[in-house]
Amino acid sequence: MIVDLRSDTVTKPTPGMMEAMMNAKVGDDVFGEDPTINELEQKAAAIFGKEAGLFCPSGTMTNQIGIKCFTQPLDELIADQTAHVYRYEGGGIAFNSSVSARLLNGERGIITAEMIEPEINAVNDHYPRTSLVVLENTSNRGGGSCYTLENIKPIAALCKAKGLKLHLDGARIFNALTKTGDKASDYGQYFDGISICLSKGLGAPVGSVLLSSKETIKYARRVRKVFGGGMRQAGFLAAAGIYALDHHVERLKIDHTHAQILAEALRNCPAVSNVLPVETNLILFDTVEPATVVLEKLAAHGIRALSTHPHRIRFVLHLDVHPDMVEHVVGVLKSFK
Ligand SMILES: *Cc1c(COP(=O)(O)O)cnc(C)c1O
């Protein structure tokens, strides 16, 4: 048995999703004529209480377009030091937008209005102009930690008072909503831009959607074209996204339950020195032996995972990890001395 816990991006389309893709009505989206993409964009925008959406090939692109829309060259954005937009998007903040980043030491990736406020630059020729705050929910490097809307409200109020834009990297926003019970439709009012991912926990093969006002999305379409992301009959992919929104959100709670079962097994495993708090579908744990050694032992039992530090391993739950696989991993962990 192979259990792939490396990432929630490794999922494959289900038969139902494949059927939806095969039957999609398509057109040339650069002309705005793909009905399935239009439907996905409108559907996602409605779910989050925003006016419009833009379908893109990746979450990196939706984030980078968002940053481009909400900044000018010589500006600065504020984010947690673990932020995907800073660490894992290849330096795109500087390259695509000519913007610098002020990084905060949040608590497992979560930052507060109190942390942000002193880092907003005064208006002075010495300083880059602070124009954007980026939040990540759930936080990837934070091990799937969540913001609640109660955490977000004071940040949104601060941004409004100071004239800053607020962007959400919501690659795993549905995991956060599953955990917190907050309503997606309440999110739109607090964020200028929201990036949601269809190809992580939701199981679509490709795609993210940027959500914002009609005016911003109009400009974002131009930026997407410049970034090389204008797609043609991509409705086949959008159909997978629509299917995912309809069928794969509710089930995320299963992944979270599986994560709790594995976390418990890890806490009882002598090869593991510490398990970080588990809130959603990600588990970070520290190993007594080097992570590479533990990864090899896991691999010998068909369990695949990644290390994030020399003594830290990440497990990610997703829709291709079934209950019998979770049982298998628990059994293997029990056998470790
Ligand atoms: C995966 C991820 C993204 C986007 O990644 P792509 O691979 O470009 O789709 C953005 N933010 C976070 C937090 C992620 O985990």
Q: How far is the CA of 277 from the centre of ligand 1 (A)?
A: 21
Does the C-beta of 58 come closer than 6 Å to ligand 1?
A: yes
What ligand 1 atom has the least distance to the C-alpha of 208?
9
Residue 295 and residue 222 share a domain: no
Q: What is the pLDDT of residue 337?
A: 75
* Positions of the chain with pLDDT lower than 70, given as ranges: none
Q: What is the pLDDT of residue 316?
A: 98
C-alpha to C-alpha distance for 47 and 120, rounded to whole angstroms: 31
pLDDT digits (tens, 9 = 90+) for 9-42: 999 999 999 999 999 999 999 999 999 999 999 9
Average pLDDT score, the chain: 98
Does the C-beta of 169 come closer than 6 Å to ligand 1?
A: yes
Does the C-beta of 136 come closer than 6 Å to ligand 1?
A: yes
DSSP per position, 286-299: EESS-HHHHHHHHH
Residue 323 and residue 236 share a domain: no
* Whole-prediction pTM: 0.97
Neighbours of 267 (CB within 10 A): 13
From 247, 272, 302, the end of a domain falls on 247
Torsion of CA 277, 152, 71, 173, to 10 degrees: 50
pLDDT digits (tens, 9 = 90+) for 98-153: 999 999 999 999 999 999 999 999 999 999 999 999 999 999 999 999 999 999 99
- Exposure string over 96-129, b if 16+ CB within 10 A, otherwise e: bbebebbbbebebbbbebebbeeebeeeeeeebb
From 198, 227, 247, the end of a domain falls on 247
Domain that holds residue 268: 251-335
From 191, 216, 247, the end of a domain falls on 247
Does the C-beta of 59 come closer than 6 Å to ligand 1?
A: yes
| Bridge partner list, 80 | 104
> What's the token pair of residue 307?
């290390």
Q: How many domains does the chain have?
A: 2
Q: How far is the CA of 11 from the centre of ligand 1 (A)?
A: 15
Residue 163 and residue 41 share a domain: yes
DSSP per position, 246-275: HHSSTTHHHHHHHHHHHHHHHHT-TTEEEE
CB 193 within 8 A of CB 70: yes
Strand, helix or coil for residue 143: coil
Q: What is the CATH number for 259?
A: 3.90.1150.10
Strand, helix or coil for residue 283: strand
